[in-house]
Structure formats: C-alpha cells, structure tokens
C-alpha cells in the first residue's frame, strides 16, 4: 500500500543526552514507511555534543533531516508550534528525543487511520528506565473515538510521542500553546473540540523513557500550580464543568502533595500497569 508523505516532528533541549537523541532519530529513520522529512526544533542553544550528533544526521540525510533553531529556549509548547509551521507535509508524526518507536509504528498508524477513518492515531506505550529491555510499566489508553473523548475529560487521552495527526487540524485548533507541563493534554483537547476523532492502537508502538525520579517530578508545588492553572483553563473553555473541575483539582492536590514513595505507587500500580 502506498502511504502519503509525512513529517516527523521533534524538539530538543540542551539537557538532552546525545545518545538518547540518536536512538530516537534512528528509530524514525528505520520505519517501514520512511519519513519524507524529519524536523528537529532546537529549543535554544545546545551543547557541542548535541550539535555533533545533529551534524552527523545532516550529513547522512541531507534531503530529509532539517533543523529549526530558536535563538532562546521557549519551552516545548511554543517550540512545537514553530515546528508545526516548519513541517512541509499534511501528516505529522510526533516523537520525543529520548524515546524509541518500533519499526512498524507509522505503517500501523496509517493503516488504522484510513481503516477507521479517524484524524489522529496513537498507541499504548511501554515506559522504560535506561534500556528498552527494562520496561517498568505499561500505559494503557482508551481505544475508540468515543472512549477517547470521554477519557479526555479527565486525563491526556493519547500518548503524545506516539501520535500521528494532521497539520491542517493542528492549525485549525490554534496550534500548540504555552501550557507548561500540559502541552500534550492541551493540543488533544483543542483537536477534540473542533471534531477531530482519535484512535489508540492497543499494542505498544512507542517505548517512552522515564527516569528513576520520573514520578517524583510529578509532585511538588510547582507542578501542582501548573496543573491547577491548566484545570482553570479547561473550565474556562467549557471542556469540564464545575464537578469535574473540582474532582481534577482535588486529585492533583492529593497526588502532588503526597510522599514520593506513595506517588510512585499510585502512578505505577493505579495509573499504569506493571
């Protein structure tokens, strides 16, 4: 089957590890359906080691690999906003610079997109520490458009680094915005609000890297403040009503302020499957 051309969109920050970037890029260049272009947004100045990796890929894929440097760090949401505008193709596959996509990811996502007649396709993901052989949890997500819409009233309905979606719809819903720690939730809510339909393939097509303190960083006052601010935004646009607003906010307060060991248990045992 012939699939349409697509762009891969990534954003890299100076703290990224060079070998992790290489693993992520290699996994996209190794897809059974090859990308027409790979757009890497450089979110502010990078390290010499990262520039060395980037130069290697520019030399290896001069017609496909493109960078979009930003003069200063603007954060993931605004970096991806610039990246969407830089993508040449209608179909865009998101990817994070520290994750890994299985070789058939894009082929399977295109197949489901056309078969189910949906606008964005993701998958469940494996979360791993250090190596993809060390999977620590499975992130399960709703499958059908109806389930995704309902789920999105409470949590992010599609794993951001697994999604394949359409540029025209991203632009139609206002493109990415500066929602600290909630860029993924925000874009999916905005897409669903304009009628985009999603689907999650019920098998892992992306391995998402998590650090040993990943769940620890989902707590604290800074994270809580960001989540409460985002809840207020969801309420202001009518995505959630007063009841869901209060439930979400109460859950955020509980999870963010609980001891790290308890939060680790909640994420791994209740919000994930080990």
Terminal alpha carbon distance of the chain: 36
* Lookup result for tokens 């056309």: 114
Q: Which of 41, 45, 49 is nearest to 66 (CA)?
A: 41
Residue 193 and residue 234: Cα distance in Å, rounded? 11
What was the pLDDT predicted at 11?
98
Residue 274 and residue 191: Cα distance in Å, rounded? 30
DSSP lists the bridge partners of residue 200 as 122
Strands 100-101 and 164-166: unpaired
Q: Which of 142, 166, 145 is nearest to 156 (CA)?
A: 142
What was the pLDDT predicted at 266?
61
Residue 115 and residue 168: Cα distance in Å, rounded? 20
Tens of pLDDT along the chain (274 residues)? 799 999 999 999 999 999 999 999 999 999 999 999 999 999 999 999 999 999 999 999 999 999 999 999 999 999 999 999 999 999 999 999 999 999 999 999 999 999 999 999 999 999 999 999 999 889 999 999 999 999 999 999 999 999 999 999 999 999 999 998 899 999 999 999 999 999 999 999 999 998 765 555 566 778 889 899 999 999 999 999 999 999 989 988 887 777 666 656 665 655 555 5
Give the contacts of 244 (CB within 8 A, at least 6 positions apart).
153, 154
Q: How many residues does the chain have?
A: 274
Residue 206 and residue 126: Cα distance in Å, rounded? 7
C-alpha distance from residue 234 to each of 182, 244, 262 (Å): 11, 10, 27
Hey, what are 4's tokens? 């349409």
Residue 223 and residue 217: Cα distance in Å, rounded? 8
What was the pLDDT predicted at 269?
57
Residue 58 and residue 40: Cα distance in Å, rounded? 11
């Amino acid at each position: 089957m012939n699939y349409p051309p697509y762009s891969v969109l990534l954003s890299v920050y100076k703290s990224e590890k060079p070998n992790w970037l290489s693993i992520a890029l290699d996994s996209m260049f190794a897809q059974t359906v090859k990308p027409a272009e790979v757009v890497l947004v450089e979110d502010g100045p990078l390290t010499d080691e990262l520039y060395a990796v980037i130069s290697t890929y520019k030399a290896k894929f001069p017609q496909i690999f493109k960078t979009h440097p930003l003069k200063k760090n603007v954060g993931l949401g605004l970096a991806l906003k610039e990246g969407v505008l830089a993508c040449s193709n209608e179909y865009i596959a998101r990817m994070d610079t520290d994750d890994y996509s299985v070789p058939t990811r894009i082929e399977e996502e295109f197949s489901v997109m056309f078969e189910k007649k949906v606008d964005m396709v993701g998958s469940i993901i494996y979360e791993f520490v250090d190596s993809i052989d060390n999977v620590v949890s499975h992130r399960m997500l709703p499958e059908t458009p109806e389930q995704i819409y309902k789920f999105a009233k409470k949590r992010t309905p599609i794993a951001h680094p697994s999604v394949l979606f359409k540029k025209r719809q991203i632009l139609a819903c206002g493109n990415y915005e500066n929602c600290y720690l909630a860029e993924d939730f925000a874009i999916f809510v905005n897409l669903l609000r304009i009628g985009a339909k999603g689907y999650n393939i019920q098998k892992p097509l992306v391995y998402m890297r998590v650090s040993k303190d990943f769940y620890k960083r989902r707590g604290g006052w800074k994270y809580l403040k960001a989540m409460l601010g985002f809840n207020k935004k969801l309420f202001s646009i009518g995505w959630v009503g007063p009841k869901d607003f209060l439930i979400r906010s109460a859950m955020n307060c509980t999870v963010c302020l609980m001891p790290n060991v308890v939060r680790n248990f909640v994420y791994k045992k209740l919000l994930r499957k080990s």
